[in-house]
């Protein structure tokens, strides 16, 4: 096994721990996310997925912010929230426009699948901010993004990352259900 496959596998392990802890709303998730993301960025860069590389670097940086942000919130005032449909539609349309722009910029490089890469990257950023601030809809975005990214990684034979995305898709469904139940219990307690 070459060194890049080993780094890819380590990235996957750390990223899966990140997601498991995120579904449980544990701030330690961000530490695992930082390490896994930075390892993944190296693998993606070496495979000419430049938008995804930038995304994984962003994940590493936002992990630092997420850890600090979650550390400064008490469980009393930091609850899972819902978002209005019109806001979700606006965010989705903005994400599509930004994806097109990023995809176009990446055509100026030797990027592999620049438009497809840009879609997962842009919506990954959007979903990250939604999860950071505990919006339930973040999981809906993640379910779609993770399922889509299985294909994106598979076509470059990034087998471990593709498997990670299968696991992420399943964990995102679990995370949605867990956070949804949390919003229902919060509503009943009010």
In tens, the pLDDT along 68-107 reads: 988 887 766 678 899 999 999 999 999 999 999 999 999 9
| Measured CA distances, 70 to 86, 105, 117 (Å) | 27, 34, 29
- How many CB atoms within 10 Å of residue 188? 7
Quick one: pLDDT band at residue 187, thresholds 50, 70, 90?
Answer: low
What's CA 119's distance to the chain center, in Å?
12
Q: How far apart are CA 143 and CA 127, in angstroms?
A: 10
**Helix orientation angle between 114-132 and 50-71, rounded to the nearest 10 degrees:** 0
Section 120-149 average pLDDT = 94
The pTM (predicted TM-score) of the whole model is 0.84
* Residue from 109, 138, 131 nearest 45 by CA: 109
- pLDDT of residue 137 exceeding 90, the answer is yes
pLDDT in tens, 111-122: 888 999 899 999
State the DSSP code for 78: -
| Measured CA distances, 127 to 78, 120, 130 (Å) | 18, 10, 5
Section 19-34 average pLDDT = 93
């Amino acid at each position: 096994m070459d060194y890049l496959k080993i780094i890819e596998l380590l990235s996957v392990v750390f990223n899966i721990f990140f997601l498991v802890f995120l579904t449980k709303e544990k701030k330690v998730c961000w530490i695992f996310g930082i390490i896994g993301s930075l390892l993944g960025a190296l693998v993606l860069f070496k495979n000419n997925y430049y938008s995804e590389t930038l995304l994984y670097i962003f994940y590493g940086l936002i992990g630092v912010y997420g850890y600090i942000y979650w550390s400064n919130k008490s469980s009393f005032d930091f609850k899972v929230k819902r978002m209005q449909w019109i806001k979700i539609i606006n965010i989705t349309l903005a994400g599509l426009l930004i994806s097109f722009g990023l995809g176009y910029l990446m055509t100026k490089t030797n990027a592999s699948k620049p438009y497809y890469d840009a879609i997962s990257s842009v919506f990954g950023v959007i979903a990250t901010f939604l999860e950071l601030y505990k919006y339930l809809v973040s999981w809906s975005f993640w379910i779609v993004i993770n399922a889509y990214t299985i294909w994106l990684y598979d076509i470059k034979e990034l087998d471990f990352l593709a498997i990670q995305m299968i696991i992420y898709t399943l964990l995102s469904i679990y995370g949605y259900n867990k956070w949804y139940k949390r919003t229902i219990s919060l509503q009943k307690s009010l």
